[in-house]
Amino acid sequence: MDWQKNRLTIGLVAFLIVGGLAIWAVRTKTGDTPSTDQPTIDGFPSGIERDAITSIEITRPNEDPVRLERGEHGWRLSAPVEARADQTSVDSALDKLAELTLESVAARSATHHEALEVDAAHGIHVIARGGERELANVWIGASRSGNTAVRLDGQDAVGMVDGSIRFAFNREVKDWRDRTMLDVEPDQVREVAWVGPNGSFQFTRPSTAAAAGEGAAAEGEGHAAEGHEGEGPAAPTLGDWTMTAISFVPPVEAPDGGVAPPPGPALTTIENFQPSKVRTMVSTLAHLRAADFAGARVTAEEAGFTDASARVTLTLADGSSHTLRLGGAVPGSSDQFYARRDGDETIFVVSRYHSARISPTAADFAPSTTTTSETPPPSEGAELDPSALGGQLPPELMRQLQQQLQQRGIQAPH
């Protein structure tokens, strides 16, 4: 063989062989490429019945365990606080536990635990039980090539399961809690009344008896009327929001370097009142979700709740009513405020945007002076269309995105 003539080809082949061996060695060391072992690990959980799970204990590194228990009225947290659980977060965890399937074996030695993040310093320890029976006791680690490393507690072998599942368990305590402050249908609200330091504002949405054939058309554009002449009156339809009882003192500004004049008499009407402003506020309040929760040791008094606290009461068509109250600002924050709902001892934390819906001013019911006052920030009840991100998202990424959006109070299309 003419070595000189073929030295370039020989060198290229040698380079590819050495490079391939180096990549194989690195991936094998980190567990990035599954070993050639048969995908069997003694006792690895699979085929868990979702409805058989009655409790889940989740421990993140250096944190107290979170315990979720299924009771007569749904899932609740029993530790580190007693609270209603967020059903979306619980459903995600239950789904991932029910879908556990061993795809391959990534490692057989404990020397790989740290690299695969299934050790105590990096892994998330999850124990699922059905009554007294332990259904799964695993450490959930890092994602590799679209799979997730999972190790049975007390064993060295590490398996890879299909998909990214760590996100379903890697949540702060607040993300396991139900942040719902109020959840009613806005169309059922017939009266809304605000009382607070900015004044008192009461509005009603009266029912009007429509003539035959007019009721169905009034329900919405594009719907044909069902009534016909001679069939009698149609069902009552809802009118627009109207002022019922108004009382507020307009703010008075002091001239530059001067003293503010005394406030004038209370006004009993809102100039240029816009019913659409009430509709927007009612829609926001009817599906109000908190941003966070007060610390476990914060009392109602410390949160600033008094008899004079601002409040809003929504009265529904069935006569029931729901009252939300606004407390003081969260210490160290100018954009978060304490809030609560009558009948619920939970002290929530809401954003400045939502606090202004609980305690508005007269100006909030008149034409806006800026173009952005009616647009909530993206994390405060807006609707986000994932298609705006460009193209069709993978199903797994879409599920993760929907989970995150729902936790932040954003309505994500399914």
Task: Return the percentage of the chain with pLDDT > 90, whole number.
Answer: 65
Give the CA distances from residue 211 to residues 72, 190, 231, in Å, rounded to whole numbers and listed in that order: 48, 21, 10
pLDDT value of residue 348: 98
Q: According to the model, what pLDDT value does residue 24 have?
A: 47
Indicate the pLDDT class of residue 218, thresholds 50, 70 and 90. very low
Mean pLDDT, range 26-50, rounded to an integer: 69
Average pLDDT in the 27-51 region? 71
Residue 36 pLDDT greater than 50, yes or no: no
pLDDT category at 389 given cuts 50, 70, 90 is very low
Residue-wise pLDDT for 55-101, tens only, equals 999 999 999 999 999 999 899 999 999 999 999 999 999 999 999 99
Instruction: Tell me how crowded residue 362 is: count the other CB atoms within 10 A of its CB.
Output: 20
Q: What is the pLDDT of residue 215?
A: 43
pLDDT of 376 higher than 60: no
pLDDT (mean) for 389-406: 50
User: 303: closest CA among 325, 282, 328?
Assistant: 328
At 232, is the pLDDT very low, low, confident or very high (cuts 50, 70, 90)? low
Query: Among 28-42, 95-109, 155-169, 322-336, which stretch is predicted with the lowest mean pLDDT?
Result: 28-42
> Once rounded to an integer, what is the mean pLDDT over residues 373-388?
44
pLDDT of 216 higher than 90: no
pLDDT at 139: 98
More confident residue, 27 or 151: 151
**260-267 long-range Cβ contacts below 8 angstroms, 24+ apart:** 266/199, 267/362
Q: Among 40-44, 323-327, 385-389, name the one with the lowest average pLDDT.
A: 385-389
Give the pLDDT band of residue 323 (cuts 50, 70, 90).
very high
Residue 69 pLDDT? 98
| pLDDT for residue 262 | 79
pLDDT tens-digit map of 258-298: 776 777 799 999 999 999 999 999 999 999 999 999 998 99
pLDDT at 394 over 50: no
Predicted structure pTM score: 0.73
* Across 322-336, average pLDDT: 96
Higher confidence at residue 365 or residue 206? 365
Mean of the per-residue pLDDT values of the chain = 83
Model confidence over 164-202: pLDDT tens digits?
999 999 999 999 999 999 999 999 999 999 999 999 999
